Amino acid sequence: MLTILVALDDNMAQQELVEMLRTIYQQKVSILQPQYEGHLEELIAEHYIDIIFIPPDQQLLRRIRNETDEPMILALGPSGNDEYELELVREGVQEVLHAADLNHKRLLRVIEFSRQRHEKILEATSFMRLEREIAECSSLQELLELVTDVLLRRTGASGCLIAWAGIDGDTIKVMHRVGRLSFVPPEIPLSAIETQAGILGDLFGKKKAKIPTAIDVTNRQFMLALENKGERKGFISIEGMPILPPSVDMLRFLRYLSERLVVALEKVQAQERRQYHIRQMNNLYKISISITDIIDQEDAFELGAWGLANLLEVEGAFACDYDQERHQLIVRGRYATFSLDAYIPTHGTIIDLNRFTELGKALTTADVIDRHKLNSNSPLLEELNVVSPLAMLVFPLLQVEQLKGVVFVCHDNLNRRFLSDDIAVAQSLAIYLMTVLHQAALYRNIQQLQEAKSEMIQRVSHDLKSPIHLLVGYLSLLRESISLPTEEQEMYFEALERSIQTMNDLVADILVLEKVETLLEAPMQPLDIIAVLHELISYAQNEAQLKQQTIHVNIPIEECWVLGDQTQLGQALQNLIGNALKYTPEGGNIYIRANAIDGNFWFEVEDDGYGIPPEKQARLFERFYRAQTPGTEHIKGTGLGLYLVKTVAERHRGQVWYQSAPERGSIFGFRIPLAAQV
């Protein structure tokens, strides 16, 4: 039924027009007439009006357009100025009629023509507004809510839903639904959708239809396929439609809406896919960083399972070591949310590949196994069902084409499809995990070699000490048996004693060095390094007096606390002071300086001894290297002292330095952080 508002300023003309309209439309029209000032606006607000008749009055036209822009407006009056009438049309009047020329046929023809034109304008305006609203949607959910709201308002239906192929592109699932619905399909693989019963099968079975639609009269249901470049990727289902089949105009609108929806869905999903890949790359970087420094294989397997599960956004994973001799997989690491904890094998679980022969064959290649892509009759699928009844990706960990381990990534949704891009990113992490596992294995081998070396050094040192002690004893007895040794005999005794002392020093240095390198000393503790230094200086003063050397001490602080190993730091300080005493001639000067500066303890020893040529300075901190120069041939040593100083300083997060020139002396020192800075 049409609703027409007649608001002319001439009562006679108004009555004639009302009678004419009732004659034309009979019972199919509702005519409204304003009765008092302001009633016009009230009628517009209370009713949905199709047509409004007004006099050719710009002010009245503007009042109406301020209230609504939907009704068609016709102006009726005497013949007037053409320019004024054109201005009325510009401001929204569809047609200007002249009362003298008006009759039933002309009025009907003008109304119908104007209605068609107005409806097209409204439709175009509606399409433009809808296009703008769709473009402004910032999320997929906002887009779906907008489209379903438009569908319900435009069709008068009781409910509707939108189904679309997700990011994986293989499965159609309901993305949004509103209202009362009798039909809500489950997730359906695209490959199987044509075989579905009922209206859905009818819709996707119409491959050649220009506008693929299907109707279920019983449920007043209308369904329209969503197509992208000729490929059907979803559908709109509308239930409770008052008019079926829909009119041509309604079908055109639904078709337009579906096309815009597909474009918007593709755009939003492309954005989501980009964000997903960015998130994946960030996760890959973070996970890679977290496992880079792993040196324990058990930790590597555990973090590998966690990393792949998080990267692929699944609920569980487990990583296995491969026992080549027994041809078995042993679970070494697992990650599971509460929902999958019962389905993920526990640590130590054995998967016997002698029993799972198909899995064993498949793991010999670097290809990732996607359970979803296996044939339903595949023996490998049966074996994977036994391992874990979940959607699964299997990543073989190979090194030089040799199987070293396997990671199983699991999802509780059997319909989960893993995209090829996702698999490629995850595979890069699996390859990196293999590198970390190899690194951990090398570290374990090094640790074993280090332990064997330490054991050997301890044994050799013990074996060397016994004959040295025996030599000391016999030499002492020999010296006591000769009451008045000759000068030559005394020279022999002194040479033997120096050699024995050198052997003792060498064994002691090797033991200290071995402890420093393998970190076998006690844990680091706060200590006052100034107190340790003063004790060493007092011993050095006695030795310096024997060579008429002078030690100059410059330590302006009473205490300085560092975090360290007292034995190792004491050995480093003693080595630098001892070197200065050894390499400074009789009557020389030695300067010992220490202070706390910029959060560090600084220590250095300067002498005015022989100095070191530039060409020999590069190797000063190497093991067993001695930079002998003319005049120092008589000085004994093992070449371990400076190497030990450097090792101790670096273990305490410090640095060593030196400065030397031939015949001008040398400066050696180191710095380490104060306790508060460690």
Helix (H, G, I), strand (E, B) or coil at 2: strand
User: Where is mean pLDDT largest: 86-95, 164-173, 463-472, 630-639?
Assistant: 86-95
Whole-angstrom CA distances from 304 to 99, 202, 267, 543 are: 87, 47, 34, 59
What residues contact residue 592 under an 8 Å CB cut-off, 6+ apart? 533, 537, 551, 552, 553, 554, 555, 577, 604, 605
What fold is seen in the domain 293-429? Beta-Lactamase (3.30.450)
Q: Tell me if 643 sits within 8 A of 588, measured CB to CB.
A: no
Banded model confidence at residue 602, pLDDT cuts 50, 70, 90: very high
Task: Give the Cα-Cα-Cα angle 24, 29, 35 (nearest 5 degrees).
Answer: 110
Number of helical (H) and strand (E) elements in the chain, helices listed first: 16, 24
Give residues with Cβ within 8 angstroms of 168, minimum separation 6. 416, 417, 418, 419
Three-state helix/strand/coil letters over 256-287: HHHHHHHHHHHHHHHHHHHHHHHHHHHHHHHH
Q: Maximum distance among all alpha carbons in the chain?
A: 162
Pairing mode of beta strands 655-661, 665-673: antiparallel
CATH code assigned to 520-677: 3.30.565.10
Handedness of CA 42, 44, 46, 51 (dihedral sign): positive
The Cα 144–Cα 674 span in angstroms is 62
Q: Which pLDDT score, from 0 to 100, does residue 117 have?
A: 65
Task: Please tell me the distance from the alpha carbon of residue 657 to that of residue 671, in angstroms, as a whole number.
Answer: 9
The CA-based dihedral angle spanning residues 114, 118, 120, 126, taken in that order and rounded to the nearest 10 degrees: -170
Residues of the chain with CATH 3.30.450.40: 137-273, 293-429
pLDDT in tens, 573-594: 999 999 899 888 889 999 999 9
Cα–Cα dist 500/509, whole Å: 14
Tens of pLDDT, residue by residue over 491-511, are 888 888 878 877 877 777 677
Q: What CATH number labels 137-273?
A: 3.30.450.40
Per the model's pLDDT, the better-predicted residue between 122 and 289 turns out to be 289
Give residue 167's pLDDT.
65
Per-residue pLDDT tens over the stretch 57-73: 888 888 888 888 778 88
Tokens standing for residue 335: 């990650």
Say if strands 171-179 and 159-165 run parallel, antiparallel, or are unpaired: antiparallel
Determine the Cα–Cα distance for residues 69 and 114; give it in Å rounded to an integer. 15
Query: Token pair for residue 24?
Result: 């034309």
- CATH superfamily of the 2-131 domain: Response regulator (3.40.50.2300)
Q: State pTM to two decimals.
A: 0.51
